Amino acid sequence: MSHLLELSGVERHFGGLKVLQGVNLAIPQGGVFGLIGPNGAGKTTVFNLITGLQQPDGGAIRFDGRDLSGLKPHQITRLGLARTFQNIRIFKGMSLLENVMVGQHSHLRYGALGLLLASAGFRAQEQRARERARELLSWVGLDQQADEVADKLSYGEQRKLELARALATEPRLLLLDEPVAGMNSAEKVEIMAVIRAIAARGFTVFMIEHDMKFVMGLCEQIAVLNFGQIIALGNPEQIRTNPQVIEAYLGRDDDEVSPAPSQGERA
């Protein structure tokens, strides 16, 4: 199996605190991969290193075989990585369509002169961008609200919009930082369906999430991070029953970590 993203011996220190210690991870092409662990385990730091917001103090991060060391976030985005954040970062004063079109900025090629002169090339690219934005909004179930102002959306709908905007960068790898944080049960079911559909379209999804039922019901492979080190890697059943994981993170209440119900069970 080919690996789209590889972390080899990654270290990250803040002063004398070792936040990450020799982290090794290999994310395969396709499917949904999860990263879990207690608060302060270093999960968000992993995402920050992958996306160039921080630089590792040791080890290497490779995307499709290319070393990401020293690259800036916008350069990494252009390579095919996109990220959503735990705190929603949409433009609330803009329409849903405009929000998604912003995500396509790095792929537009009309230049400043074309923009000022409203050239034929600019108009053609603008039209294609609008059509693509509407298509992505339909993927997350927001196409009927495309021209509405984002500020009018519910919390769950704002999360969907953030997903659509991330997809507008045409990523090969989509990093989701706690995609269902703060959601109610119905919203979680909707987002799970959206993420499954995204993966089914060929995107690779790598997510951090604290809701264990959500993680167990969605991810095919899960890594567990504790005190900056990977302590387990496997499928949901292997993780759920791993004694070291139970001791470090999950606890012993099986109901809390049981797989999410299937569509039939939800009915």
Strand order of the β-sheet with 31-36 is: 81-84, 173-177, 204-208, 31-36, 221-226, 229-234
The pLDDT, as a whole number, for residue 145 is 95
Share of residues in the chain with pLDDT > 90 (%) = 72
Retrieve residue 148's tokens.
């509405």
Q: How confident is the model at residue 121 (pLDDT cuts 50, 70, 90)?
A: low
Which domains are assigned to the chain? 1-80+172-267 (3.40.50.300), 92-170 (no CATH)
- CA-nearest of 228, 240, 197, 262 to 32 is 197
**10-17, long-range: CB < 8 A, 24+ apart:** 10/46, 10/49, 10/56, 10/58, 10/59, 10/60, 10/61, 11/56, 11/57, 11/58, 11/59, 12/42, 12/45, 12/49, 12/54, 12/56, 12/57, 12/228, 13/57
The pLDDT, as a whole number, for residue 103 is 83
Q: Specify the higher pLDDT residue, 89 or 33.
A: 33
Between the alpha carbon of residue 63 and those of residues 5, 50, 74, the distances in Å are 5, 9, 14
Distance CA 40, CA 58 (A): 20
Q: How confident is the model at residue 118 (pLDDT cuts 50, 70, 90)?
A: low
Using the predicted structure, report yes or no on whether residue 252 has a pLDDT greater than 50: no
Phi, psi angle pair for 220, to nearest 5°: -85, -35
Q: How confident is the model at residue 251 (pLDDT cuts 50, 70, 90)?
A: low
The pLDDT, as a whole number, for residue 106 is 56
The pLDDT, as a whole number, for residue 76 is 95
pLDDT digits (tens, 9 = 90+) for 172-229: 999 999 999 999 999 999 999 999 999 999 999 999 999 999 999 999 999 999 999 9
The overall longest dimension of the chain from CA atoms, in Å, is: 65
The pLDDT, as a whole number, for residue 125 is 75
